[in-house]
Amino acid sequence: MMDFLKACFTDGPILFRIFSGIIVISIVIWIYWGTIITKQIQNQVHQEQEEVATQTLNNTEEIKQILLEKMNVLDNDTILKNKYPKGYCLFAIDHKKIIIPYNSQLELNYELDWNSACIVELNNEIVIIKLPDIKDTQYGNIVQGFTSEHLRKVGSKHTDMIIKNLKVVTEVIENSNESIIVVLGFLDRN
């Protein structure tokens, strides 16, 4: 290859050598500008990805704020207080399968570990939730590993577990394309 290039620039007629030089210079310039353009495109794509990520974060934060406001309104509703007299806790699930807890009206001797909760499945028809671990602060017992399956419609209810003299129920109380709000309620075991 080197012999061919050497021959092109030293052994051929003058026009051939000039033409070969122009071609080589053109290739070098083309590679140089191609590299610059590629870097500009990469920078632009990276910048657009950062903007989308920022917008997604802002949208997620906006959705979270809206859900917290909705849960605050629901929390002050006497219907839930009457329906779950032993206490309840609201939580929301956004379209990205993120659980947003709202510990409310939970005046029992129990602590909920929301880090243990997750969404097992979420689609247009059902939601399957791994419930938070529940610790009995009075006796130190921990109830864990329970899941709750619901149709994605308001009123879908599931009795998940019995803890001593309490029945633990989950119920969908709000459903939209963007989110679901569920109540984790405590009732007498009757």
Q: Where are the domains of the chain?
A: 2-62, 83-188
Listed as ranges, residues in the chain with pLDDT below 50 are: 56-57
pLDDT of residue 63: 67
pLDDT of residue 140: 78
Contacts of 161 (CB under 8 A, 6+ apart): 131, 143, 146, 167, 168
pTM of the model: 0.61
